[in-house]
Amino acid sequence: MREISSGTDERGSTMRIAFARACRLAAPLAAALLVPTLWASPVKAETRVEKPHLKLGFIKLTDMAPLAIAYEKGFFEDEGLFVTLEPQADWKALLDRVIDGELDGAHMLAGQPLAATIGCTTCWMNGSRQWTQAHIVTPLSMDLNGNGITVSNEVWAMMKPGLPMGPDGRPEHPIKADYLKPVIEKFRVAGRPFKMGMVSPVSTHNYELRYWLAAAGLHPGYYSPNDVSGQIAADVLLSVIPPPQMPAALKTGTINGYCVGEPWNQQAVFESVGVPVITDYEIWKNSPEKVFGLRADFVERYPNTALALTKALIRAAIWLDADGNANRGEAAQILARPEYVGADAEVIARSMTGTFEYEKGDRRAVPDFNVFFRYFTTYPYYSDAVWYLTQMRRWGQITEAKPDAWYVETVAKVYRPDLYLQAARLLVKERKAEAADFPWGSDGYRAPQVKFIDGVVFDGHLPNEYLAQFAIGLKSGERIENGRLVTSGP
C-alpha cells in the first residue's frame, strides 16, 4: 500500500486517506499476496528494484509536485516502488535525515548535495548540529523558476511612489532593488536594521535574493569560518525562516521582506500582509531550482531502485507540463491537501496555472513561472551546479578561491546525467516518453546564459571569469578574515 506520513497533526487525515486507498487496492493486493512474484512490480525481473519500500522527504512547497504526482498517479508503483512521503520541518532537518538514512531520498535545494559533498562548514548557521560531510548525488532536477521576493506593506508603501508606471497605471516590471535602496537608507537613518528572510544558506532563494540586492549596489553580507551568519559587511540582514512561516514573520514585523518559493509569496497577497515585487524568472530567466537528492552509497547499493525513482519522477514532470499545462488545475487541488503543501488550492493555482499576482489585483501572465519538464528541465546540467558553487564562493561559503578545474571535478561527483539518460532511454523504449524531449548529445553544460537582471553573462565552463565581473563579491585572491576582506594576491 502507498502511504503518506504527515509527521505532525495531519495524522488523522493521513490515516483516512490511507484507509480509503487500502479499500480500493484490497483486491489486487490480496491477489499479490497469494502470488509473491507479482507483489514487487510489473517491471522485468532483470530490472527488479532492490529496495521497493522507500521513505522520501519534502518541504511544503509547490515544487515538491513531482513527488506528489508520482505518488498519486501511480508512477512509483509502476516502477515497483511503494513510497511513503513525509514532510520535513526545515531544510537542515531534511538533509540530516537523508545523511543518517532515516530518509531514502528527498526533494532538495540544489545547493544541498553540493554543500554536503564538499563539506561546506560555513554553509549552516544559528546553532545547527555539528557538520556532517556526506556524498549526496542528484540524478534529476525538479523544476525551473518558482520563487519570488516579497516585501511588507510598509516597505511597499515606501517603494511604490518611486517606481516607474506603465500606461495602464501599474508598476513597470521587473522591479530592481535600486528602488529598495532609498527605503533601506531611511531605515538606517531611523536606526532600524533592514531584515529579510530566506529558507537556507545554500538555497536558490538566498543566492537569488543576494544577486538582486547586489545588482543594485546593496551588500547582502559575507560568510566566514568564524561567522556563519552571512551578515558580515551587510546592508541587509538575511536570516533563515522555514517557508510556511514567512507570511507570519512578515505580518509580525520580524522581517521586512523575504525570498521564498510558492505558494508563500501568493499567500502574502491572499492574507494582505505583503507584496511580491519580483520573481526569480525576472532575476534569472529559467533559473534551475530544486533537485532530487540521494546518498551516493544508496545509488551504488540499489542502482535499479535509483533508476526506478528517476523514471517515476520524469513521468510526473511530463504529466505536470503536458498539453500546455492542462493538468495544473488538478495538480493544485492535489497539492492543497494538508499532507502535501496544505495551502488554499486557489492560492497554489495562481502561480501554477501561468499567472502571478503582485500587488493585490495586479495579476499578470507568467506562463513559465513554474516549469517541470519542458526546456529539458529535468536534465541535471553540470553548469547549473557550477552556478551554485560560484555563489558559494562569491559570498564566502567557499572560503578560498578554486581553479576552474575544481568546479568541473566537483559537479561531476554530484550531478548524474548518466543515470538520468539511462532512465530516459528506458522510458522511451517503454513508449512513456518521446526521444525528442531529452538532450542526448549534451556535454552537461548549457550555452552561455544572458538572461540575468544585471546583464552579466554566465558561462559554466569559466567560473572564475564569471566571478570577476561582479563589483560586490569575492574574487580570486580574496577571502574574509576576522570580519574583513583580505587580498592575498592576484
Distance of alpha carbon 296 from alpha carbon 290, whole angstroms:
18
pLDDT at 129: 43
pLDDT at 124: 67
Q: Are strands 227-232 and 355-357 parallel, antiparallel or unpaired?
A: unpaired
Distance of alpha carbon 175 from alpha carbon 257, whole angstroms:
14
- Residue boundaries of the structural domains of the chain: 3-144+289-339+373-437, 147-285
pLDDT at 132: 66
Decide whether 3-144+289-339+373-437 matches 147-285 in CATH topology: yes
Q: Is the dihedral of CA 487, 488, 489, 490 positive or negative?
A: negative
Q: Does domain 3-144+289-339+373-437 have CATH number 3.40.190.10?
A: yes
Q: Are 45 and 80 in contact (CB under 8 A)?
A: no
- For helices 111-118 and 91-100, the axis angle rounded to 10 degrees is 50
One DSSP character per residue, 290-354 reads: -EEEEEHHHHHH-HHHHHHHHHHHHHHHHHHHHHHHTTHHHHHHHHTSTTTT-S-HHHHHHHHTT
Distance of alpha carbon 251 from alpha carbon 271, whole angstroms:
9
pLDDT in tens, 217-275: 999 999 999 899 999 999 999 999 999 999 999 999 999 999 999 999 999 999 999 99
Residue with cell 507570519: 248
- For helices 111-118 and 404-414, the axis angle rounded to 10 degrees is 110
CA atoms within 13 A on the CB side of 394: 27
**Mean pLDDT of the chain, nearest integer:** 90
pLDDT in tens, 338-377: 999 999 999 999 889 989 999 999 999 998 999 999 999 9
pLDDT in tens, 85-121: 999 999 999 999 999 999 999 999 999 999 999 998 8
Close Cβ partners of 40 (under 8 Å, ≥ 6 residues apart): 48, 49, 52, 80
Q: Are strands 82-87 and 3-4 parallel, antiparallel or unpaired?
A: parallel
Question: 197 - beta bridge partners?
Answer: 239, 258
pLDDT in tens, 166-178: 999 999 999 999 9
Distance of alpha carbon 96 from alpha carbon 61, whole angstroms:
19
Q: How is residue 74 written as a grid cell?
A: 501511480
Distance of alpha carbon 235 from alpha carbon 231, whole angstroms:
8
Distance of alpha carbon 199 from alpha carbon 40, whole angstroms:
38
Domain spanning 147-285: which superfamily? Periplasmic binding protein-like II (3.40.190.10)
% of the chain surpassing 70 pLDDT: 88
* Least confidently predicted of 118-122, 292-296, 326-330: 118-122
% of the chain surpassing 90 pLDDT: 84
Encoded amino acid at 64, one letter: M
